[in-house]
Amino acid sequence: MTHVPVMTAEVLQHLRPERGGLFVDCTVGLGGHTRALLEAGATRVIGLDRDRDALAHARDTLASWSARVELVHADYRAIGDVLDARQIAGVDGTLADLGVSSLQLDASGRGFSFQRDEPLDMRMNRQSGDTAADLVARSTERELADAIFQYGEERFSRRIARALVEARREAPVDTTGRLAAIVRRAIPRRGPMRIDPATRTFQALRIWVNRELEGLDRFLETAVRRLRAGARLVVISFHSLEDRIVKHTLRALEHGDEALVRVLTKRPMVPGEDEVQRNPRARSAKLRAAERLG
């Protein structure tokens, strides 16, 4: 499986692993960023991920670094609990890449993509929680419309929600192909479309299933408080809703009554044209960084 970690040069530029120390990769995915940190000089990395399949791949990727890596099955928002369990008061750098991994998009049976017709799952942690099919089956038309509008920024959310409710009366909407077909029929077509009409609805359901925005602000504050003085936090987001939360939370931590950080990126960093050509999935990435004050 081909995995290209996003904006690796910018991550290393801000986290400065060449100084050594303990780093936390809160979303280790397939291990690409962690490997880059170790190769650049990080002494030790704790890698978290809520996807057991991703952890298994990361273990293979990082096999030659096993003495310096600890992989933990945990949600990134549990960073405080993970560090407390290891009696670690502070770390020398933290990374959170909030995107969906190549594994989740490409592996069959996960239900993240409409490129294949498969069960409509979308859970990053397949050991718990509702699937996307569960939410589509039991949510009211209003709940579906609100979620698709809020998380997908989809202007035709009400049409789509109505179409889903009508369709599920005939048969369950439990595969990616069926969901995509219903959404495409519900959206009026006016000439060529830049993206597939189902894209925003799929994004919305994925965010809803995995509670991707829930607790993100609290995670950022916890991660900042666990940094040693002068250590840095780097966050990579892939859609405007996440980036907005990261931007405003870091700004609040910089300008609040208790100034905790200095924001290093007044504007988000984005991938260069060369990287986007090599890895089209990087095109929507935005990187923000902050440094812990003493």
CATH number at residue 50: 3.40.50.150
Q: Name residues whose C-beta falls within 8 Å of residue 157's C-beta, 6 or more positions apart in sequence.
A: 144, 145, 146, 148, 149
What's the CA gap between 291 and 294, in Å, rounded? 10
What's the CA gap between 248 and 30, in Å, rounded? 29
112 and 203 part of one domain = yes
Residue 116 phi/psi, 5-degree rounding, is -130, 150
Read off the tokens for 223: 């991660």
What's the CA gap between 157 and 179, in Å, rounded? 14
226 and 260 part of one domain = yes
- Structural domain count, the chain: 2
17 and 88 part of one domain = yes
Task: Say which DSSP state 188 is in.
Answer: P
Exposed/middle/buried for residue 151 (C-beta within 10 Å: 0-12, 13-18, 19+): buried
Task: Say which DSSP state 101 is in.
Answer: P
92 and 230 part of one domain = yes
Specify if 2 maps to a domain: no
- CATH code of the domain containing 185: 1.10.150.170
Which structural domain range is residue 168 located in? Answer: 108-210
Specify if 117 maps to a domain: yes
Q: Name residues whose C-beta falls within 8 Å of residue 191's C-beta, 6 or more positions apart in sequence.
A: none
Read off the tokens for 167: 């369709």
What local confidence, expressed as pLDDT, does residue 112 receive?
82
Q: Mean pLDDT for each consecutive 10-residue tract of the chain (294 residues)?
A: 81 98 96 97 97 93 96 97 98 92 67 89 88 97 97 96 98 97 92 85 94 94 98 96 96 94 97 92 94 94
141 and 152 part of one domain = yes
Specify if 234 maps to a domain: yes
What's the CA gap between 163 and 160, in Å, rounded? 5
**Contact predicate 93/134, CB 8 Å:** no
Amino acid at 188: P
Q: Name residues whose C-beta falls within 8 Å of residue 77's C-beta, 6 or more positions apart in sequence.
A: 215, 216, 218, 219, 222
Specify if 3 maps to a domain: no
What local confidence, expressed as pLDDT, does residue 66 receive?
95
The three-state secondary structure class of 78 is helix
160 and 286 part of one domain = no
